[in-house]
Amino acid sequence: MRLIAEQAAIFSGAFLLFQVQPMMGRFLLPWFGGGPSVWTICLVFFQSLLLAGYAWAHFVAGRLPRVVHWLLLAAAVAAVLRATPEPVSDSRTAIGVLAALGASIGLPYLVLATVSPLIQRFSAAASPYRLYALSNAGSLAGLLSYPFLFEPTMGLSAQWTWWSGTFAVFCGLYAWLAPAVGRVAPEASPGWNWRWLAAPACGSMLLLAVTNQMTQEIPATPFLWVLPLALYLVTFILAFSSARFYQPALFTGLAAAAISVACVIKALGLRAPLGAHIAANSAVLFVCAMICHGELARSRPERAGLTRFYLLLSAGGAFGGSLVALAAPAVFSSFAEFELALAGSCLLPLAGASRSLRRTAILAALIAMASLASEGEGKTLEARRNFFGVLRVSERDGRRSLSHGRVTHGYQLLDPAKRAWPTAYYGPESALGIAMRTLAHPLRAGVIGLGVGTAAAYGQPGDQIRFYEINPAVERLARDYFTYLADSQARVDVVLGDARLELAAQPAQEFDLLAVDAFSSDSVPAHLLTAEAAAVYRRHLKPSGVLLVHVTNQYLDLEPVVRGMAATLGWPAYRLESAADPDRGVSASVWMMVTKDQRLARGGPEGRVLTWTDDRVSLRSILR
C-alpha cells in the first residue's frame, strides 16, 4: 500500500510540477509584452526552484521534525488557494517576470520539487531509478496534457482553479508520507563526478537556446514551449531506463548530421517552411540532449549518493539556464549560446573515448561553431540584444534596414532624394497609405510598433503621431540610423512600454487613426488581439475613427482574429491587400481595416470570425 502511495505521489507531483510551467507562461505573456523571452525566464525560475527543492531534500529535510513539513505543505496550499496569479512589479524585464512567478507559484513549486528526491531516498523500492523514470513519465504527461487537453478546453482562470485544487489533494497524500521523511539518514558517500554538473548544464543550455531559436521567428505558444521540453524529458527517460538506448559513437555521428541540417535551415530563415524549422531544431535538441543525459546516466551513483546527485544535477541545469536567459543577453549581440551549447554537448563523450569517437565529436563541435558565421546579411552597422531579442541595423543594395532575428521591421532608401519615401509595408497603396491620404488633416494618429518610424513619413503640418514601442532599443536605433522621425512634418512622440498597458493608463486620445503593427514577426503579442484589447482601442478612437491591423504574416492567419475584434466592437472589418513595388522599396502587405467610416470601405466584411479573450487564446487555431 505504501509503495503504491509513493508511486502516486511521485507521478502526481511531477505531473503538477511540469503542467504549471506552460500555464504560468500563458499567464505572464500579456503582462510582459508577449515575447519569447518570457518563457526563457520562466524556465530559469523553475530550474532555480528545482535546485532549491533538491538542496532542501539533501541538506535539510531529514533533519527536521515532521511537523515542519506539515506546516510547509499547509502554507503552500494556502498560497495557491488565495488568488489567481497577477503581476507584482511594473518592471518589463526579467526581474518583473521572476517577481511575478515568485509571488504566485514560488512556495508550491518548491514543495513539488522536493517530492521525487525525498521519496526515492526513503522508499523501499528495489531501485530508486525506477521511481525516477516514473517521475519523468509524470512530468511528460503533465507537459503534454496542457496544450492538447487543458488549454483548448479551459480558460486561464479555470485552469488555475483546477490546478490549485489538485495541488491541495496532492499535499494531503504527501502529508501522509511525511513521517518517513524524518527517517532520511545523512548520506555517507562524499564522492561526486564532474559530469553531474557539466552534462545537465549543457542540456539546459540546449533546451533554452533551442526554444529561443524556435520562438523568435515562429509563434510564442505553449505548444512550442512544450515540444522542446517534452523532447528533453524523453531523453532523460531513455537514458536512465536502460544503457542500451545511448551509444556514444552513434549519437555523436547523428549530432554532426543534425547540426549540419539545422545550420542550413537557420541560414534560410523565413524562406524555410515552419515545419522545417520545428523539425530541424527538434532533431538537434533530441540528439544532443541524448548525449548529455546519456553521459549523465553512465556516471549515476547508487542509492547512497542519490540526493547529492540530484542536487548537483539541478545545480548544473540552473547554471546552464542562467547562462542563456540572464548572462547571454548581456554578453552576446546574437544567439551565440545556441552554437556553444551544441559544441559543449558534442564534446562531452571525449573522456576515455576512442580515437574515432574523438574525431567525430570534434567534427560535430566545429560544425556547430561554424554556424556562428551565418548570422545576418549585408553590412552590419550595429547589433543589440536585450530582453526582447536581437536587433540588427544593416545596409545592403542601397537600403538600410532594421531586423529582429530574421524578420525585417522596416528599411529606408539611402539615396537622399528617396529617403522620405514610405517603404516596406507602408507604401502609398497600403491600407496605412490610403487612410493617411483620405482622412482629413490635421489628424491625430497612434501607431503601435515603431520599427524605423516609417509611418511618420505621412505626417503633415499640424498632425500629431504617437508611437507606442515596448523595446527601448528600437527607439534609439530608429533615431540614430534612420531619419523618418526627424524629417516628419508632424509632431511626433514615442511612448515606451507595452502599448496596451500604456493605452489603458492614458486618458482617451481621440485618435482619428490607430494602426497596430506588432505582428509581422511570427512571435506575436496575442494580448493585443483580444476582445479586451479592442475595447481599449475603441476608447481611444473617435466615433468615426479607423483601426488598422497589419496582418502580413508567413505562418499565422490573423484575419479571423481581427474580424473577431471587429465583431465585439460592432464595426465592419475590411481586408486591404497591396502589391509590391521594388522600384519604390515597397513590399506586398495585407492590412485589416476596422471602421464605420464608409469612405474607407473596401470590399466586403465576409470571412471567418475567431474571437480571442484574455482568458482564452489559441495560436494553434490560426497556424497556416
d(CA 404, CA 384): 10
The three cell numbers of residue 240 are: 536512465
Q: What is the mean pLDDT of each run of 10 residues along the chain (624 residues)?
A: 79 93 84 71 88 82 71 88 70 77 90 83 65 84 88 88 92 77 52 86 90 66 75 90 86 87 76 81 93 90 76 91 83 80 83 72 77 62 82 91 81 93 93 90 95 95 95 94 96 92 92 87 74 95 94 85 94 92 91 84 72 81 74
Residue (of 579, 529, 587) closest to 558 by Cα position: 529
Assign a CATH topology to domain 191-374: Growth Hormone; Chain: A; (1.20.1250)
Q: ∠ CA(169), CA(177), CA(123), 5° rounding? A: 125
**CB of 249 closer than 8 Å to CB of 357:** yes
d(CA 535, CA 179): 54
Q: Looking up cell 490549485, which residue turns up?
A: 164
What was the pLDDT predicted at 522? 47
- Helix axis angle for 94-122 and 306-322, nearest 10°, is 160
Q: Which helix (H) or strand (E) holds 475?
A: helix 472-481
d(CA 519, CA 608): 19
**What's the full length of the chain, in residues?**
624
d(CA 553, CA 450): 18
What was the pLDDT predicted at 571? 92
Nearby residues of 232 by Cβ (< 8 Å), 6 or more positions away: 203, 206, 207, 285, 289
What was the pLDDT predicted at 261? 85
What was the pLDDT predicted at 602? 67
d(CA 466, CA 458): 13
What was the pLDDT predicted at 469? 93
Q: Looking up cell 531513455, which residue turns up?
A: 238
DSSP state of 601: -
* Angstrom distances, CA of residue 190 to CA of 127, 296, 297, 307, 309: 21, 18, 19, 11, 11
d(CA 310, CA 299): 12
d(CA 521, CA 218): 8
What was the pLDDT predicted at 81? 84
What was the pLDDT predicted at 332? 80
What was the pLDDT predicted at 328? 82
Residue (of 521, 489, 218) closest to 210 by Cα position: 218
The three cell numbers of residue 141 are: 504527461
What was the pLDDT predicted at 566? 94
What was the pLDDT predicted at 496? 93
Residue (of 503, 428, 492) closest to 470 by Cα position: 503
Residue (of 546, 529, 535) closest to 504 by Cα position: 535
Tell me the three state secondary structure of residue 85.
Answer: coil
What was the pLDDT predicted at 468? 96
Give 421: exposed, middle or buried? Use CB within 10 Å, 0-12, 13-18, 19+. middle
Q: Where are the domains of the chain?
A: 1-186, 191-374, 390-622
Residue (of 355, 387, 212, 388) closest to 284 by Cα position: 212
What was the pLDDT predicted at 377? 54
d(CA 465, CA 455): 9
**Count of CA atoms in the C-beta half-sphere (13 A) of 156:** 22
Extended strands (E) in 362-437: 379-386, 389-396, 399-404, 407-413
Give 2: exposed, middle or buried? Use CB within 10 Å, 0-12, 13-18, 19+. exposed
d(CA 387, CA 379): 24
Cis peptide bond prior to 219, omega within 30° of 0: no
Task: State the Cα torsion 356-251-338-21 to the nearest 10°.
Answer: -150
Distance spanning both ends of the chain, measured CA to CA: 50
Q: Which helix (H) or strand (E) holds 48?
A: helix 37-55
Assign a CATH topology to domain 390-622: Rossmann fold (3.40.50)
| Strand 444-448, strand 464-469: pairing | parallel
For residue 466, the cross-strand partners are 446, 493
What was the pLDDT predicted at 418? 93
Return the number of other C-beta atoms located less than 10 Å from residue 363's C-beta. 17
Return the number of other C-beta atoms located less than 10 Å from residue 126's C-beta. 6
* Angstrom distances, CA of residue 184 to CA of 12, 58, 59, 74, 303: 22, 9, 11, 21, 12
Residue (of 598, 51, 573, 597) closest to 315 by Cα position: 51
Give 102: exposed, middle or buried? Use CB within 10 Å, 0-12, 13-18, 19+. middle
Q: Looking up cell 482574429, which residue turns up?
A: 561
d(CA 174, CA 169): 9
Task: State the Cα torsion 564-569-571-576 to the nearest 10°.
Answer: -50
d(CA 506, CA 444): 15
What was the pLDDT predicted at 199? 92
